[in-house]
Amino acid sequence: MGEEAAGDDEFDRLSASDGREIVEDHGRVMYWEVGLPSGDDLTPLSQMLVPPHLASAFSVKPEPPRTDMDVQRASQYTISNLRRTAPSPASTAALRNFSPFSPDESLGFEANDLVENGDSCGHISRSGQISPSAALEEAESSAPVAEDSGDEPSSSRNPKRARLVWTPQLHKRFIDVVAHLGIKNAVPKTIMQLMNVDGLTRENVASHLQKYRLYLRRMNGIQDDSPSLPDHLLTAMQPAKKSLHEQHVPYTPLQYPMPAMIPVPTFGMAPPHGHGVRIGMVPTMEHQGDGRYAFEQHYNGALGERMKDW
DNA sequence: AGACCAATAT
DNA sequence: CATATTGGTC
């Protein structure tokens, strides 16, 4: 795993409510934009890059139109990779924050996007399609949010939360956090806090943690590395690496400042082979005494990929 | 009261 | 099987 490779210094808070302005803390990012064409000079998202006739002439499949959400997602992915790649000076120890986009404002847009795209599994699955393995190892993306479309159970104080689906991204976050805290500190509440995922509850984490522990237990009992065990699974589930300094990790280090990940509630179960885009609606929110925000809901990351056997 | 965690329920 | 809920314990 990337271990603590991801360091980065102070964090830059990219606040792009609508995709353009990049506000950040120390003017660190702005200069990247110097000299770049302005938005008006760029090709509109709606415009096809390859003209239809050319596409057909070369048997090129037309690219699905991109939406702001797509762009943001791609941007996050890029940032996330940059962070991991860039060797961080000293401050390696503590994993740093990364906060692609401000969570706040990001509410409105995806709801529509999702709705309109209803079934076009095309773009939604993108994040998960980066390649199955990639999805498990890298990609961090936000899950689109879907408002309960025409759902009754008043969105407000609905006591019934939809079942959370631990997508590979969510699980990855979980693993990262657990790995970062020692086994000692890896308890539900702390994990939940560090994961910083909107709508994720302590109960959700506790349950997952229980399962994870069982997995670990079963895992080291059977050191057998016969033929099975698909690599990526191993990678994903590897026992938390104890860093040399995990002993005392109050809170700080690993932090996912923004609630980019969104739990994916669903009602029905995933069809045999994942693919349908399930839209879960989640009622409401509510909250734990300490610091978390309320929530949103969502649709399923549609990554057909589920965690297979871990 | 609140958090953990294992057991049990859905 | 994956998650949620429960209940005993600290």
For residue range A178-214, list pLDDT tens digits in order: 999 988 899 999 999 999 999 999 999 999 999 999 9
Least confident residue range of A20-24, A149-153, A263-267: A20-24
- Percent of the residues in chain A that have a pLDDT greater than 70, as a whole number: 20
Report, as an integer, the average pLDDT of A30-42: 42
What nucleotide is nearest A161 when CA is compared to C1'? Answer: C4
Rounded (5°) CA angle A46-A49-A54: 130
What positions of strand C are covered by protein, i.e. any atom < 7 Å from a CB?
2-6
Report, as an integer, the average pLDDT of A275-298: 33
Tell which residue, A132, A301, A84, A128, has the closest CA to residue A231: A132
pLDDT band per the 50, 70, 90 thresholds, residue A285: very low
The Å distance, CA of A178 to C1' of C8, is 26
Q: Is the pLDDT higher at A147 or at A196?
A: A196
Please list, in sequence order, all residues whose beta carbon lies within 8 angstroms of the beta carbon of residue A22, skipping any fewer than 6 positions away: A14, A15, A16, A29, A30, A33
In the predicted model, what is the mean pLDDT of chain A? 51
